[in-house]
């Protein structure tokens, strides 16, 4: 059985849409970036720690992921409040940033990992648009303070790379890792 080490409704929905059966478990880790840690190393480390924190049986597989937003080498985590969300969207306005997701698949002691990177262009926003979006509440539990699949979709004219990565789980990368690891998915 595949265990998704996440309580994210977005990750769960993406796996369901892709026809990948799973159950969930919450790893309960403190997600802090280490000083000097690159964004890619950060999301990979957290994904691996999440996967390793889940207790499994002999036939279980664990899938874990961690996503962050990077603007000019500055990591934008989830905003702590409405003002922080507005600050993040203000920084992203009129700029291109990257969304990185580290993915870890574990079976027993075996580990498969990779990082997906997507470039996202944000339109230039007015202060009224920034305040409206921050007040919507949508940005509060999202890395970088926005949800591409929600209200913020109106602000994003283009992306370069995997859309699902920006939502929170690069599904094609997950499928590739599952295949490489020998996990057998039902086809039909």
Question: What are the residues facing 111 on neighbouring strands?
Answer: 106
Phi and psi angles of residue 45, each rounded to the nearest 5 degrees, phi first: -60, -45
Closest Cα to residue 79, out of 130, 125, 119, 137? Answer: 137
Dist. CA 169–CA 167, nearest whole Å: 6
Of the residues 60, 66, 81, 141, only one is catalytic, namely: 66
Dist. CA 51–CA 55, nearest whole Å: 9
Beta-carbon contacts of residue 63 (< 8 Å; ≥ 6 apart):
2, 3, 4, 5, 22, 51, 103, 104, 105, 174
Catalytic residue at 60?
no
User: What residues act catalytically?
Assistant: 66
């Amino acid at each position: 059985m595949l265990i998704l080490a996440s309580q994210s409704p977005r990750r769960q929905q993406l796996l369901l849409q892709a026809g990948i059966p799973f159950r969930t478990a919450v790893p309960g880790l403190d997600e802090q970036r280490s000083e000097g840690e690159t964004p890619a190393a950060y999301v990979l480390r957290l994904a691996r720690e999440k996967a390793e924190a889940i207790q499994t049986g002999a036939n279980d597989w664990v899938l874990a992921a961690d996503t962050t937003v990077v603007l000019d080498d500055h990591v934008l985590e989830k905003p702590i409040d409405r003002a922080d969300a507005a600050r993040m969207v203000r920084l992203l306005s009129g700029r291109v940033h990257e969304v990185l997701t580290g993915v870890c698949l574990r079976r027993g002691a075996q580990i498969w990992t990779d990082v997906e990177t997507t470039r996202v262009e944000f339109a230039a926003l007015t202060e009224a648009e920034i305040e409206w979006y921050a007040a919507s509440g949508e940005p509060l539990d999202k890395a970088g303070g926005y949800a591409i699949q929600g209200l913020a979709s109106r602000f994003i004219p283009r992306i370069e790379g995997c859309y699902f990565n920006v939502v929170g789980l690069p599904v094609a990368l997950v499928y590739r890792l599952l295949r490489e690891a020998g996990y057998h998915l039902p086809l039909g």
